[in-house]
């Protein structure tokens, strides 16, 4: 299951990076990809991740199934976007909102996941541009939140 999730993060990160390229220059598509990445990370955060060992009746390990850990998913989903989106105001604001939402609830078990999020937040550039007054751009809000709060159904 985690491999499927990892593949989804890879696809979304690729979409965002392509959208941020000078040839395409479509930051809104990158923001939409980050909306989906955030949703996936928030759903994945409380789950146990990493390798699984299957035990026999006596408790001895018989099968080891490799699987990505939290930091692997986080790296796959965000590291390239942090590099290629650092100069784009929309992307930087959206990344800060994503980190706010990942860290705010501390809803997952095990504090071992927080440092990997905080390290990425530390390398994310500070927003240097004024934030638009549109409600969708308030910290911690996404365009999807605005649609849901407006009562518009998809």
In tens digits, the chain (154 residues) has pLDDT values of 566 889 999 999 999 999 999 999 999 999 999 999 999 999 988 888 888 899 999 999 999 998 999 999 999 999 999 999 998 999 999 999 999 888 876 655 555 788 888 889 888 888 765 555 444 444 445 544 444 444 444 4
pLDDT of res. 133: 46
Q: What are phi and psi of 49, to 5 degrees?
A: -130, 170
pLDDT of res. 150: 41
Distances (CA, A) of 38 to 41, 46, 72: 5, 14, 15
Which among 29, 111, 41, 102 is positioned nearest to 76, based on CA atoms?
Answer: 41
Tokens of 140: 């911690």
Give the pTM: 0.75
pLDDT of res. 29: 96
pLDDT of res. 137: 45
Q: What are phi and psi of 106, to 5 degrees?
A: 45, 40
């Amino acid at each position: 299951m985690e491999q499927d999730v990892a593949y989804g993060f890879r696809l979304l990160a690729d979409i965002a990076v392509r959208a941020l390229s000078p040839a395409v220059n479509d930051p809104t598509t990158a923001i939409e990809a980050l909306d989906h990445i955030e949703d996936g990370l928030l759903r994945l955060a409380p789950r146990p991740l990493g390798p699984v060992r299957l035990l026999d009746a006596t408790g001895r390990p018989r099968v080891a199934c490799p699987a990505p850990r939290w930091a692997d998913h986080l790296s796959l989903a965000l590291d390239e976007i942090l590099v290629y989106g650092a100069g784009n105001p929309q992307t930087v604001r959206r990344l800060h909102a994503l980190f706010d939402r990942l860290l705010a609830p501390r809803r997952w078990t095990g504090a071992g996941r927080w440092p990997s999020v905080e390290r990425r937040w530390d390398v994310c550039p500070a927003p240097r541009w004024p934030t638009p007054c549109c409600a969708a751009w308030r910290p911690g809000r996404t365009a999807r939140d605005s649609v849901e709060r407006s009562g518009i159904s998809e």
